[in-house]
Amino acid sequence: MDNIDLQILRQVQNWRAAGHRVVLGTIIRTWGSAPRPIGSVVAVRDDGQIAGSVSGGCIEDDLIARVREGALLADTPRTVRYGVSGDEAARFGLPCGGTIELVLEPVFPHSQIEGLLERLASGRRVRRTLDFLTGAVTLTEAQAGDTLSFDGQTLVSTHGPGWRLIVIGAGQMTQFLAEMGRALDYQVFIVDPRPEYADGFEVPGCQLVRDMPDDALVALSLDAHCAVIALTHDPKLDDLALMEALRSPCFYVGAIGSRLNQAKRKSRLMEHFGLTEAELARLHGPVGIKNGARTPPEIAVAILAEVTGVRYGYRIPEPVAVEGSVGGTVNGAEAGCVV
């Protein structure tokens, strides 16, 4: 499952292969309450077909009209700004005072869309440098801390996941969790040393690591852009992973299992590995928001919903069960403890 930007780039490639001219737009600056963040992209082909979004509709309509008129189908990139005045903000559906500046780049073979897609398909992060005067593009490996920049002559953009999701255990639920994690723009690692689980296990765009979990997490150099989720139900694997993750700067650490099993796990981690109360308090378990999820894909949704909330600084309160719901309940089951 691809993230949104990857889907847009694939569409650009398909349109080019079919003989269409295409303009790729990238938000390079915003002022005020812009509806889309810097780096968001949109593609418009010569007949007005569109992929992606930079405003939610109104700016896209203007871009479509300009492309159909041939006004944007130049040979070199250019910039365009929307929402400078109050009238324009109202016209283009921007919040009061909101302004968006775009680089509009005509796509040619030297735009290196195909090469970019090949690198992104493997889950890598890529630094794309666009020469504004010629339209030529170079691709290099992205480095930590790389961000979008534009100095009037060069546009540097970073593509691929800036966040990492490390899942301990290869299994059915891991398949769904990894695919959804990819869609949310995570670089996904699946750690499982057990041949009976790891042999033949593959999720496109995700990396399978067959080391012991503690060794794997040390090698991955966990940082504040990492989430670690333990799914094996095997203390010999999950506990080792949690020991390393809870002592790291990871923004999220979770483990599957019932409340009773979580209590036993915390006792083991404190007794055998010396984890402190403060470190154990970081453990999310049962993992995921409590929404009655019972199937592997439902539980994967519940887990990533909680990960997303923590990532953006939100605490999701305990839910209130509703009598007479269509789905019903399963003996008070909760996400993360039904498998």
Residue-wise pLDDT for 26-69, tens only, equals 999 987 766 678 888 999 999 999 998 887 667 888 888 888 88
Which residues lie below 8 Å from residue 14, measured CB to CB, with a gap of 6+? none
pLDDT higher than threshold 50 for residue 334: no
pLDDT higher than threshold 60 for residue 333: no
CA distance 138 to 86: 38
Output the CA–CA distances (angstroms, integers) from residue 236 to 7, 231, 240, in the order listed: 39, 12, 6
Please, which pLDDT band fits residue 301 given cuts at 50, 70 and 90? very high
209 beta partners: 191
pLDDT higher than threshold 90 for residue 214: yes
pLDDT higher than threshold 50 for residue 170: yes
For residue 156, the 8-state DSSP code is: E
Write down all domains in the chain, each with its CATH number in brackets.
Answer: 4-159 (no CATH), 163-311 (3.40.50.720)
The string over 249-273, giving b where at least 16 C-beta atoms fall within 10 Å of a residue's C-beta and e elsewhere, is: ebbbbbbbbeeebbeebbebbeeeb
The string over 80-117, giving b where at least 16 C-beta atoms fall within 10 Å of a residue's C-beta and e elsewhere, is: bebbeeeeebeebbbeeebbbbbbbbbbbeebbbeebb
Mean pLDDT of 91-110: 79
> Comparing 42 with 143, which gets the higher pLDDT?
42
The pair of structure tokens assigned to 160 is 């691929």
Please, which pLDDT band fits residue 335 given cuts at 50, 70 and 90? very low
pTM given for the model: 0.70
Instruction: Supply the DSSP string of 158-220, one letter for each residue.
Output: EES-SEEEEEES-SHHHHHHHHHHHHTTEEEEEE---HHHHTT---TT-EEE-S-HHHHHHHH
- Cβ–Cβ < 8 Å for 125, 162: yes
- Cβ–Cβ < 8 Å for 72, 63: yes
Mean pLDDT (the chain, rounded): 86
Phi, psi values for residue 149, rounded to 5°:
-145, 150
> Comparing 177 with 63, which gets the higher pLDDT?
177
- How much of the chain is in helix, strand and coil states, percent to nearest 5? 35, 20, 45
CA distance 102 to 160: 20
For residue 77, is the peptide bond before it cis, meaning its omega torsion is within 30 degrees of 0?
A: no
Mean pLDDT of 259-278: 93
219 beta partners: none
